[in-house]
Structure 1
């Protein structure tokens, strides 16, 4: 018989292997039986979304999530185009009605007094987000969608305003960078990588890391080929889309709402799977 210490080491190793296998199985289920999931998100409802991004995604048959600010003139002026984008499978996500940000934080000189989240009440923030949902429903006819925190700000006076919106959305996207397996994803504050000037090789390398670690990767774009102070070159964006298309059998690319629904189902099933 093996010494007790050797048996304990073997048992510990087997337990770690089982936990790892269970975690991989859970993520594989959440990632639609692929290596990883990639979500392409685009913030602020700008002309570049419709001029550059939607045609680029459609050309390689990929779908993304566009987080719309309800008060954006680009929403009002180009509403039929947003509706057509939704009809082709892109998600129209909620980026609040007025895009309020916390003006009390450092580097927030761009925040106007009218749209200063630090001067909002929680009820005002919640009401404006819900009003934007009404607008988005009028555009796409859908009720299931996700939310993106303007400027990544989560709280008003220390209170997480999204807590009152949990039943209004499938999930909410934040701005903290990170790759996570399905079990570790916080559906109230999903990690994302904000892109500003990085190369196509950098974007593809992030995807490769997600493939190797079997995790969720969310890209956060603003301008694509211009139109915003935060921007990515058209060629770099095109390189990323081509890589994703070429590896569609290994990478699940879908709108945030679809990926979040899969994660929610996988997380709900995990405790049941651990029952004897």
Structure 2
């Protein structure tokens, strides 16, 4: 076989491999270009006042990571239940939202919620108690977890290792776009949003479309209510873009996207 034929054959094999990879990726994203997950942390009033109505207005669904001890959970429990009935995920953001107070810039951490003072068994127990609470609200037994402050360990031990059978996946705080094969279901990447423009948010989605990857947004305040905030206009711009391009973009709660990724990662195709 001459050099030209070898080159042609190699190119054909490379293209075939790329086509197969692309087909598998789009299949994981419900046969669309990319997947987008909209997550909202901390169970605060603006979740129900601003975020849920904005999502409902364009028939999109998000994931709300609830702190079980938040007074907004108890005070507005019927509204959380209604949000779940409309397809939003009530995710687990721990019972007390413990963060590692030994790290720099953690002056806001109190002795009662200092993860560095927790035992692994306490962190695991509180996450499970919060699951029980959430199940009492929405009647569901399958959901995802979000690490408070993105903290993964207690004394060097990854406490989530004991929770893998309790959740489909866990969301972290490291930014990045990933294919289904690249996603670590024990620490899914996300982009923490604080003051960025609508154009910035949309540009992230466009990059995910081009690279056929997953993009997860991490919101706290939406139009106020938290020191980490996204402007209502910027949030609205993002939702309108997602709605206008829904034939190309799969927008779903984290639990649904994570289940798809898990199925792919366990499939024979992922092991090739």
2: distance between equivalents of 1:207 and 1:32?
A: 16
TM-score (norm 2): 0.96
Report the number of matched residues: 272
Residue deviations 1:114-143 (CA, integer Å, cap 9, x gap): 111111110000000000000000000000
1:146·1:171 contact (CA, 8 Å) conserved in 2? yes
- Equivalence map 1:112-261=2 (5 Å): 112-261=110-259
1:29·1:266 contact (CA, 8 Å) conserved in 2? no
Give the 3-state SS of the residue equivalent to 1:176 in structure 2: coil
2: distance between equivalents of 1:114 and 1:17?
A: 56
Shift of 1:267: 1.4
Residue segments in structure 1 that go unaligned for 5+ positions in a row: none
Shift of 1:266: 1.3
- Runs (4 or more) in structure 1 with deviation over 6 Å come to none
Shift of 1:2: 1.4
1: distance between equivalents of 2:5 and 2:115?
A: 58
Residue deviations 1:111-170 (CA, integer Å, cap 9, x gap): 111111111110000000000000000000000000000000011111110000000001
Shift of 1:81: 0.3
Give the 3-state SS of the residue equivalent to 1:183 in structure 2: coil
Aligned to 1:101: 99
2:170·2:187 contact (CA, 8 Å) conserved in 1? yes
2:100·2:109 contact (CA, 8 Å) conserved in 1? yes
Shift of 1:16: 3.6
TM-score (norm 1): 0.95
Aligned to 2:74: 76
Shift of 1:23: 2.2
Residue segments in structure 2 that go unaligned for 5+ positions in a row: none
Shift of 1:20: 2.3
- State the Cα RMSD in Å: 1.4
Residue deviations 1:160-218 (CA, integer Å, cap 9, x gap): 10000000001100000000111111111000000000000000000000000000000
